[in-house]
Amino acid sequence: MGFFSAGLGKTDNSQLSEIIKDGAFLVDVRTPAEFSAGSVREAVNIPLDKVQIQLSKFKDKKNIVVFCRSGNRSSQAKNILEQNGFQNVINGGTWENVHQLLNR
């Protein structure tokens, strides 16, 4: 847990960039309408209100990066996943942040 920073539990961007480039499972937890208006390539859309019932999609993933519009819903998604036993979840914050890191 050493690379988590204060605030919304977001990871330092340089370490987050490495995790993303290492093939993390990228999950946009915004609504389908928000997702279709623009997101991160390679990301899947699992809206926050569906995370709990879609837990099987997260199994066996080395690292999971959740993100949204502001970092609030991704923080909630991270909490839901951790409450269900997932230890490898990172709050990437905004989708724009993850997009920039992926395209470095």
**pLDDT, tens digit (0-9, with 9 covering 90-100), for 47-71:** 999 999 999 999 999 999 999 999 9
| Residue 20, in any domain of the structure | yes
Is 2's pLDDT higher than 50? no
Residue 33 structural domain: 13-102
Average pLDDT, the chain: 90
23: left (phi over 0), alpha (psi -120 to 50) or beta: left
pLDDT higher for 99 or 3?
99
From 96, 69, 95, 64, select the one nearest 80 (Cα to Cα).
64
- Of 68, 81, 98, 101, the active-site residue reads 68
pTM given for the model: 0.88
Alpha carbons 89 and 80: distance in angstroms, whole number: 10
> What's CA 60's distance to the chain center, in Å?
15
| Residue 59, in any domain of the structure | yes
| Residue 3, in any domain of the structure | no
Domains: count for the chain: 1
CATH of the domain at 36: 3.40.250.10
| Residue 7, in any domain of the structure | no
Q: What is the mean pLDDT of residues 64-81?
A: 98
User: Nearest 5°: phi and psi at 9?
Assistant: 75, 25
* Catalytic residue flag (residue 103): no
